[in-house]
Chains A and B, each alone.
Chain A
Amino acid sequence: MIAVVDYDIGNLAAVANMFKRIGAECEITSDVEKIRNATKLVLPGNGAFDACMRALRQTGLIPVLEEKVLQDLTPLLGICVGAQMLGHGSEEGVEKGLGWLDMAVKRFPSTLNLKIPHMGWTEVERVRPDDPLISGLDDRARFYFVHSYYMQPENPRDVLLAAHYGIDFAAAVRSGNIAGVQFHPEKSHRYGKQLLENFSRWN
């Protein structure tokens, strides 16, 4: 069962519905036992970095998540701010991140005169085309983004997908069993569905 971690950050129904469509068993939950028994984990995130970190900490779920992700090596997918939270912290706030990935989260440079947040459908480039998480995505794959900050892994080899908005940034990252996507796969039709399907099959 795929557990979508519920820590009161809004409607997660689209994520669960897309897994349902794929035929993967999935539950939106904040129950420790269900999370402990899950075969895969999804960490969503919406809104401000600090607010998400505080809300997650308040649920008391971080120890069980660490046990699953760092000891049992259960595959985890972070989405949007949920992906940013996997790093050490963010320029958006003062809260520490989970620190599971060696990664910083940066603001788009203001010198570029970009409209911030970056919002809308953007095409991605496959940096590691052989990675099972992004298999089946073609050159025209595009995803729906809404963000003002971007992930910057310490090791460039952790970048799976790159996108361009004024600068090149990491659209998807992975190190071992821990992965994160900056975009919203649950709002990205066929391409998002393909990625979630890859995740549901990933061992």
Chain B
Amino acid sequence: MARVRIIPCLLLRGHGLVKTRKFKDPVYLGDPVNVVRIFNEKEVDELVVLDIDASREGREPDYEVIAEIAGECFMPIAYGGGVRTLDQARRLIRCGVEKVVVNSAATESYDVIREAAQVFGRQAVVGAIDVKKTLLGGYRVVAKSATVEVKMPLDEHVQALIAAGAGEIFLNSVDRDGTMDGYDLSLIRRVSQQTSVPVIACGGAGTIEHLAAAVNEGGASAVAAGSMFVFHGRLRAVLINYPQGLELTR
């Protein structure tokens, strides 16, 4: 029985943390360093921090903020947002992040995944995919915070990411993002079934039952969530939380 990682996914916008719904309407949560300190207290397995504006604005990761966050993190951390080159990946790893997440750039070329995996090892490279449901019920890969549709079909993209060297797949459902209605289990199942590397499911978690379903029904290796760990109650009051002592196994 392997212990399943439960991973808070935090969205960076400027110098603050936000939470979106369906990739829109960002709500300000607070200062990232303060939030990381709270997650330290709660002993989370791992953190994912994504800068949601970097790729869309075509700018560099904010190394200063990332180094500050990584220095406060008493757990492994993955960073994504605006990562396009090996040099950027190198700088991020020097900032103290354990893993670099590549999303939009990999929808244009797999080079950065290949190069980063060669230099830092596959374990340091996460291929992230944002997926949207089409009107006909299929799935489409999107990029740049869901502002661009990608031609490459989902399954081919997954395989190409792994072939290039991604050590993990971070699978995010745009339609479920921030809804807290549960993961898109058929999406998770579809991707998990065809991969040899761990799949981290994200998008839609609202309860512990949702987390368990992503693992037991979807086949995910790890589960990530945003809203569930930063909001409390029906009115979505900001409250950083994490299920104490919760252990999922698979």
Contacts and interface: CB of A to CB of B under 8 A. Distances in A.
B45 interface: yes
B71 A14 contact: yes
Contact of B43 (A14, A16, A116, A190): A190
Interface stretch (A64-72, A83-91, A124-132, A181-189): A181-189
Interface in B53-81: 67-68, 70-76
Interface size class of A (residues with CB under 8 A): 20 to 34
A135 interface: no
B67 A13 contact: yes
Contact of B94 (A10, A18, A190, A192): A10
B93 A10 contact: yes
A129 B123 CA distance: 32
Given A121-B45, A146-B98, A189-B43, A17 B123 contact: no
A117 interface: yes
Given A11-B94, A11-B95, A144 B75 contact: yes
A11 B71 contact: yes
B123 A119 contact: yes
B74 A121 contact: no
B179 to A, nearest CB: 30
Interface string A129-169: 00000000000000010101000000000000000000000
A190 B43 CA distance: 8
A148 B124 CA distance: 13
Nearest to B3: A121
A188 B95 CA distance: 18
B26 interface: no
A193 interface: yes
11 contacts: A10-B96, A13-B67, A13-B71, A14-B74, A117-B123, A121-B3, A148-B121, A187-B73, A187-B75, A188-B74, A189-B40
Given A14-B71, A14-B73, A119-B121, 17 more contacts: A11-B67, A13-B70, A17-B71, A17-B72, A116-B121, A117-B121, A121-B3, A121-B45, A144-B75, A146-B98, A146-B123, A148-B121, A186-B74, A187-B75, A188-B75, A192-B74, A193-B74
